[in-house]
Amino acid sequence: MQESLGRFMKVGNDAGDSRFSALPSRPGKIIAIHLSYASRADQRGRRPAHPSYFLEPSSSVATTGGVIERPAGTELLAFEGEIALIIGAPARRVPLESAWKHVSAVTAGNDFGLYDLRANDKGSNVRSKGGDGFTPLGPNLIDAQTVEPGALRVRTWVNGVLAQEDSSSGLIFPLPQLISDLSQHFTLEPGDVILTGTPAGSSVVVPGDVVEVEVDAPDTAGAPSSGRLVTTVTQGTHEFDAALGSLPSVDDTQRAEAWGSRSAAGLPAHPGLSDELRDKLSRVPVAALSQQLRKRGLNNVSIDGVRPTRPGARLVGTARTLRFVPNREDLFTAHGGGYNAQKRVFDTVAPGEVIVIEARGEAGSGTLGDILALRAKVRGAAGVVTDGGVRDHDAVAEIGLAVFAAGPHPAVLGRRHVPWDCDLTISCGGATVEPGDIIVGDGDGVLVLPPGIAEEVVDDALEQEVQDGWIAEQVRAGHPVHGLFPPDAEWKARYRQWRRSR
């Protein structure tokens, strides 16, 4: 059932304030969700185990037909089409099965964010999402009790082109769960608004762009709709005062998140690992890289005790980290089941990434098997490195994914490990691994290559390979290795002359 806004009683609304004309009252609270759609989580490469929230001021509310200013000195204003819920009855510690009864209406929301201001907010989003006009809502309300919470659709258009489309069935956390969870912590009051997150497709808009958001229930009788919530982006002229607080600041991480992907932001696909660098690394032996790292004083960069599951395996990629802790039965019950850290990493690993697993060198249990290896392969992962065991060893080898492990073991994860957390600095095979480190492996073992020196290390290693090949030719010709390997001044001069001739 779709109704005009006049059907919903205005309680405590600011008289004559058009900002709240799309709502039954001025919201006491606006609660927003950080990450809630599976499509958005897959795009971001991380999937939360539980919902997390932040608050927005009611002064940020606007209605359809309004404008939003992109402040002077900023570049990353992004739209987020969302399903907005309006609380109709107080909710405090409500059970999941009755949570939806506390929602009076559903409408469209656009949770604009200014990524230039995120750096110092640490997830609170106070400045990046709290600006005047940053939360348009409306224009019409759908009676929540006439629609199914899992059958709502949200769509967003930018300049008439569809940019987002998803259904509430694609939420990681169903709408009633959000209400029930929030009510555990504080009372949801009539007029409060819950912004339920945005699906994939959110991106940057610029002055002159027109953004439209619509929420509807296409499979419900009458196909009730919020109508299109229209917002025009304009350019602001007011600049932020450095004497009062932090100024806008952006980096490539913020650009990638604002645009939706590194490619959309015009950035290289793999930070610190260009296609050219990846190609070089695929041609140089790990032993040569190890020699060059040792020359630079880096002796503790080898992941020891791991071997490839199939002969000839070659591994080059950037690290995605996963940590297991020693098994404790009560902790495994809490963290080992459901959508645990292990499943989240294998479900969201990006093309070219290597999943590096800290298993404390405990090989008495599998840390992955054929199903997870297949999932990583389908996702485009470069491989897996674990200082623990591998189940289904032969099947994993047949999948063709480069997997380096401590050896085979038939036991399941819970025998020795609890999947605990991910995307943090870990220890694997005695080496420290940070997310984004470059991982290189072959039959000699696996190395961790710091991205900042990777280019110079690989270039020197390739040159060393040329020299070693020349030395091998001299040995074949009958020269003794003394003075030749390593070369003394005379042999170095001969090599330089040969190199110039090439």
The tens digit of pLDDT for each residue in 368-384 reads 999 999 999 999 999 99
Mean pLDDT of 170-188: 96
Per-domain residue ranges of the chain: 25-259, 275-299+450-502, 303-445
Alpha helices in 225-300, H assignment, sequence order: 252-259, 275-283, 286-295
Q: Is 266 annotated as a binding residue?
A: no
Pick the CATH number of 25-259 from 3.90.850.10, 3.30.420.40, 3.60.21.10, 2.30.30.140: 3.90.850.10
C-alpha distances (whole Å) from 271 to each of 208, 233, 262, 268, 427 are 32, 31, 9, 6, 22
User: From the CB of residue 328, how many other CB atoms can be counted at a distance below 10 Å?
Assistant: 12
Q: Is 241 annotated as a binding residue?
A: no
SS3 label, residue 500: helix
Give the whole-angstrom CA distance, residue 217 versus residue 221.
8
Phi, psi of 82 (to 5 degrees): -145, 160
Q: Is 442 annotated as a binding residue?
A: no
The tens digit of pLDDT for each residue in 450-491 reads 988 988 999 998 888 888 888 888 899 999 899 888 888 888
The per-residue pLDDT for 268 is 67
Token code pair at residue 248 = 């806008």
Contact criterion met (CB below 8 Å) for 425 and 448: no
CATH node for 303-445: 3.50.30.40
Q: Is 392 annotated as a binding residue?
A: yes
Give the whole-angstrom CA distance, residue 71 versus residue 354.
39
Q: Is 372 annotated as a binding residue?
A: yes
Give the whole-angstrom CA distance, residue 446 versus residue 270.
20
Q: Which of 159-173, 195-209, 272-286 shows the lowest per-residue confidence on average (mean pLDDT)?
A: 272-286
Where residue 123 falls among pLDDT bands split at 50, 70, 90?
Answer: confident
The per-residue pLDDT for 488 is 86
Q: Is 371 annotated as a binding residue?
A: yes
The per-residue pLDDT for 256 is 84
Decide which of 498 and 196 is more confident.
Answer: 196
Residue 112's closest CA among 66, 168, 73? 66
